[in-house]
Amino acid sequence: MGQLNGVILPHALSLLIGGARALYAILKLLPTQRKVVLITREPRQITVDFSLLQDAIRRKHPEHRIVVIKHQKLSPTYIPKALREMYHLATCSGCLVDGYIIPVSILNHRKDLRIGQVWHALGAIKKFGHLASGTREGPHPQVAATMQMHQNYTFVCASGEVPASIYTAAFGITADQVWPLGMPRVDHLLDERRMAERRNKIVHHYPQLQAARDAGGRTVLYIPTFRRGKHIPYTKVATAFAEEDASTLVLLPHPIDRSPLPQGERTIIGTDFGVLDWLAVADVVITDYSAVTYEASLRNIPLVFWPYDMADYLEARGLAVDYAAEVPGPIAESAADAVDAALSIGTPDYREFRSKHLNFVTDDDGSLPQDPPRCADRIVEALALPSSQGPQR
């Protein structure tokens, strides 16, 4: 069946793509508008990255309209929505995306249209895109080729040398298409006023967090990578906290994760807030292969790694880095070891990690900059939008 799909599906997709390109050629005859299109794969709410990009566009180009589109996966219900995406791509002055967007990759765009990829993570530990092609969890190679996966980007934003090299391979692009612009979330994470506001909002919603801290406890986030078709052992981590007298465990499951979740006074299911919000209150993060590693390192939050299914994960998807050499924290063998480490770990020194993985947004030695690097402004400038005085393209 897999081989059959590898032949029939690409052929059917090729026919659809041909029809879409013919229609798009007509749409491109329409006048170009002073408009920036932001296309996101986030189904629930606008991300911090896109929110800050909207602010930067309004500030730097107030004459441009902003159109935000929530992209859906390929399905029969997607077809009418695809027409809307095609119309806005054909008539916009610039476009930014945060994931693989079908019309962006498969269509033939105007030569003067700049399209920027603002990936939804500061870096990568696990393989994705073309790096994962042909693996159990990755795309079928022939389908990826037919759909021109991750093509047509003018630039891909990166925050450091190591992510830049990974993006080059994962997106199947040349090194000169990866630009050292950082990502808007960097400014968010380094803005102490903004993070204090997020912390106050969460503590107001969960007053037990402050009570626990006053009693000497820690707020420990468990943020595992989503596993397709497999349950994540949240209960093992919660059980390891059972005898702890003060600390609070916050579980942050993926939106489509259906693993059983434990209940308890000192366990919070933190889906009322986003991961970046929770980093405003976290004392420690336990994870495995998640790119939250990068965000936590910008906040100097201690990290503990529990890759409980390493052998299976390597077979299912694979890792983009040398795990033991690159992760900036202790690697635990069990849930109990992970919790013990989380409750005893001291203040980390992430300068060496940041000097390789985040050096486009930090000082050369990995020290945090005194002033945020204005990543959202950099990205908007990279779009080279027409000014209000200049001619519309």
Residue that has been written with the tokens 């069990």 in this structure: 334
Give residues with Cβ within 8 angstroms of 383, minimum separation 6.
36, 93, 94, 96, 114, 116
Encode pLDDT of 160-190 as tens digits.
999 999 999 999 999 999 999 999 999 999 9
Q: Specify the pLDDT at position 4.
A: 38
Q: pLDDT at residue 3 above 50?
A: no
d(CA 273, CA 276): 8
List the beta bridge partners of residue 267.
249
349-362: average pLDDT: 98
Encode pLDDT of 79-93 as tens digits.
788 899 999 999 999
DSSP reduced 3-state for 305: strand
Backbone angles phi, psi at 292, to 5 degrees: -60, -20
Encode pLDDT of 28-71 as tens digits.
999 999 999 999 988 777 899 999 999 999 999 999 999 999 98
Question: What global pTM score does this model have?
Answer: 0.92
Q: pLDDT at residue 391 above 80?
A: no
Spell 22-32 as b/e; 16+ CB within 10 A means b. Answer: eebeeebeeeb
Total Cβ atoms within 10 A of residue 230: 12
List the beta bridge partners of residue 244.
none
d(CA 317, CA 313): 6
Q: Specify the pLDDT at position 229.
A: 86
Burial bucket for residue 114 (CB in 10 Å: 0-12, 13-18, 19+): middle
Encode pLDDT of 251-289 as tens digits.
999 888 999 999 888 899 999 999 999 999 999 999 999
d(CA 227, CA 148): 25
Q: Give the start-end residues of each E strand in 266-356.
A: 267-269, 284-287, 303-305
Which pLDDT band holds residue 392 (cuts at 50, 70, 90)? Answer: low
Burial bucket for residue 42 (CB in 10 Å: 0-12, 13-18, 19+): middle
